[in-house]
Homo-oligomer: A and B are copies of this chain.
Amino acid sequence: MNDHTIINDKTIDRRQKILEILYLQSQVKVNDLSKIFNVSEVTIRNDLSQLEAKRMLIKTRGGALKSTNVGLDPNLEIKKNQNLKEKQLIGIAASKLINDGDTIILDSGTTTVEVAKNLQRFNDLTIITNALNIVNELIQYPNFKVIIPGGILRRKSLSLIGHSAETTLRNYYCDKIIMGIDGIDVKYGITTPNIEEANLNKTMIEISRELIVVADSSKFGRRSLAFISKIDRIKTLVTDKKISDIDLKKLKEAGVHVIVV
């Protein structure tokens, strides 16, 4: 496959790269890796054994395959980017639903970050967000008014939650809310794993005229702990083309405008 060698004497770094290659190509071979990193095959086997012991891959004869339960390991940055391309397309499409002058809420989440990255064309937006990684993106737009309701830091989602956040939010009324969610089920509605986050989301929806949901197709059929809203409250849903025909049909029946990218 690839002849040229990467010079690298860092064991940990090599193992990280092995994982990256594995995630790009779904499988790796011992002899390939040996050539790529310019180390003996025994070393590569040793690497694969170590990684297998940490359940980050499954060894096979001649190489290794992706682990099935990698999703359980929160440290894997790689997984975060798995549907990145879909999320980027969704982000671009969702940004087109915004008009200059709008007041919008940008909810926390990796998909909504992609929306925040695509706001260059606007001159005048007021954006309310409780997610610090969204704020980080918004800093680049010098003219936007950025309002952070505040609250108690939730590290896992880098968002601010709690009673005071909800109280502050009720002082505002918005044109649109763009919300990322953890699960969407055409029957049960949209859900998220954290109860407090769900409460905040409910408040956000209440103070917004229009609910836009961004969700890649992997979120469909998934049902998380905390309920946020029924499907028919959604005005527009932006997702990718891997959505099933059945889901698509049911969404349209519920009056949801679906944009597929």
Contact = CB atoms under 8 A, between A and B. Distances in A.
Interface of A: 9-13, 27, 60-63, 65, 68, 70, 72-73, 77, 132-133, 135-136, 138-139, 142, 145-153, 155, 158, 160, 164-165, 168, 171
Question: Which of A11, A27, A62, A148 has the most chain B CB within a 10 Å cutoff?
Answer: A148
B132 A10 contact: no
A149 B133 CA distance: 17
Contact of A153 (B12, B27, B133, B135): B135
Given A133-B72, A146-B152, A153-B148, A10 B139 contact: no
A60 B17 CA distance: 14
A60 B13 CA distance: 8
A1 B139 CA distance: 38
B147 A148 contact: no
7 contacts: A10-B62, A13-B65, A70-B155, A148-B150, A149-B150, A150-B151, A150-B165
